[in-house]
Structure 1
């Protein structure tokens, strides 16, 4: 009976988990990688929640959506256009590294408060021992990594370098031991790691140092810091490229505006030249019409003068012809009168006077 109850409870729990997972999958299917709820650091493979998972400083689940399918979509789209998700990732990693640096400073203050004060010379010698310990740990971690990858010869070369550094460390420890009392030397002197803010001992053995510097926590912080520097450089390069593109577009716009102004000025100049040509043509036409009118008036005046002269000539000719005919008629009458008798002359004289008077009166009326 109890087994049946546990089985039913187990089935209910599994059904709830399946329903929750199915609802999450459905919600993620509806979300795109450009959504604000998606972690941009996860898309760029640098989220601290992913890198430090399973370490002493495991941050748990990220508050934003992590999905490998969305990362694949982003990688495909980022090849076609710049989305500038690096800005969000830089802000995220900078805030995380700032918190880590604050923890490092607090740890250093605690060590200063808890450990005995030593002189500057002794502190420098202790710092030299710590630096050699750090170098040995890094070399051992590198040798282990090369051995795991199958590069045996390179790993042997690194181990030889480790032996040389160990010799330097022994000399440094001897100097440090001779510079302070034996009771103080036996105390564990600690140091804070500048990368991951973990505590390192002055007398840690090689295995402890290799585990620290080759561990996931230390390497994860190194990866985060390197990724942050790389993202900063990428953002700077993209901003410079964008600024150059903006400057280029601005120069193109200014060039287009200058071209438009030139075309406008040319069109205005053409219009002005056309208007000047039209005005010049109008003046020419006016001058031509004025010259024609002047020639016409001059010809009219010449024609009038010619007609006037012709009339005066015709009048003078008619008058002369009349006078000549009058003289010839008088001469003929005088001859006839001389041939006639005195009695006829007297009678004709009276008639002639009356006729001559009538003739004179007629000529005077015509004139």
Structure 2
């Protein structure tokens, strides 16, 4: 079964009988199997098939990007030659050296972009492609700045006018005539190469956008989960704090009541219990009274005996 067909479509069928023809696909292309895959395949399996499709599409798009680059270079060199022939105009050595450096850097970046595409690193490849565009703009700016003097400006205007007569298609790399008749423009836009490369790019963008949305939803879900967890923890901490405060107040109240009750019991016990010293004093007084009485009785008896 053709995995690319299950994910989106089989790229081999896009460029039949064109210069970009990559040959027929010998694998099975069945709509029923495609529906079964889309309905029942696991997320991991879909991810693997999509990665293969991304690498294939990126490799094809890198090839056409090289083609577009070469076509624009040819067109640019053609216009420079026309300007030199028309005005004996050449770049100074400093600018020529800088342009060579920029061109070499652009070529290295394009090779790196192709390698990243084969590895499925699409976002990194897109970042490098933006750098390539900036370098191209810098190179064009150097060439414009090199033109000085009124007569060279006139030659430059002639060169720009001539350059606009031809342009390179940014989708498939074909040469186009500026302001061509509408019929030929339509034929180009409906051509297999233009439609095929556009379909590859759109399919690649769709998959990457879906993945980015999925990652954003996961991030939002994690953020929401963390927020809910933090709120729950705050609620628990506040509840525990209230319980601790209530327990502390109750403990203090119980302690105060206990102290008050103990003090009251001591005072009550002290008021009911006789003084031990008072008891001893009373007992001694009673004994002394009895002895005195006995002595008096003895004296009375003695007196009676005398009588």
Q: Which category describes the TM-score, using the shorter chain as reference length?
A: 0.5 to 0.7
**Correspondent of 2:279 among 300, 303, 307:** 307
2:224 to 242, 248, 252: 248
Does residue 238 of structure 1 match 2:214?
yes
Kindly tell me: are residues 126 and 77 of structure 1, through their superposed partners in 2, closer, same or farther at Cα, counting changes over 3 Å? farther
The answer to whether the 8 Å contact 1:97/1:225 transfers is: yes
Task: State the alpha-carbon separation in 2 of the partners of residues 332 and 100 from structure 1.
Answer: 163
Q: 1:295 offset after TM fit, Å?
A: 6.5
Equivalent of 2:291, from 308, 312, 319? 319
Q: Alpha-carbon deviation of 1:308?
A: 1.9
In structure 1, stretches of 5+ residues that fail to align are: 1-27, 29-37, 131-190, 338-367
Superposition pairs of residues 134-283 of structure 1, within 5 angstroms: 191-200=167-176, 208-262=184-238, 280=255
1:247 Cα deviation (Å)? 1.6
> Cα gap change, 1:123/1:220 in structure 2, threshold over 3 Å: closer, same or farther?
farther
Unaligned runs of 5+ in 2: 84-155
Q: C-alpha deviations, 1:48-92, integer Å up to 9, x for none?
A: 3343345442223569986534431343359x99x6679735554
Instruction: State the distance in 1 between where 2:249 and 2:178 align.
Output: 94
Q: CA 1:266–1:60 in structure 2 vs 1: closer, same or farther (change >3 Å)?
A: farther
CA distance in 2, matches of 1:68, 1:55: 26
Alignment coverage as a number of residue pairs: 233
Q: 1:100 to 1:194 in 2, by over 3 A?
A: same
Which of structures 1 and 2 has the bigger CA Rg?
Answer: 1
**Residue in structure 2 matching 1:76, options 39, 45, 67:** 39
Q: Which residue of 2 aligns with 1:121?
A: 157
2:77 aligned with 1:93, yes or no? Answer: no
Distance 1:109 1:65, change over 3 A: farther
> Scaled by the length of structure 1, what TM-score is found?
0.47
Deviation per CA, 1:167-214, whole angstroms, max 9, x where unpaired?
xxxxxxxxxxxxxxxxxxxxxxxx532211224457976654443222
Distance change (3 Å), C-alpha of 1:321 and 1:65: farther
Q: Residue 58 of structure 1 aligns to a residue in which SS?
A: coil
- Name the residue aligned to 2:104: none
Relative to structure 1, the CA distance from residue 71 to residue 54 in structure 2 (aligned partners, 3 Å threshold; closer, same or farther) is farther
Find the aligned partners of 1:47 and 1:274 in 2 and give their Cα distance: 78
Q: 1:324 to 1:205 in 2, by over 3 A?
A: closer
**Offset of 1:115 from its aligned partner?**
8.2
Cα offset, 1:229, TM superposition: 3.6
Q: Distance in 2 between matches of 1:64 and 1:258?
A: 59
Q: Which residue of 1 aligns with 2:15?
A: 52
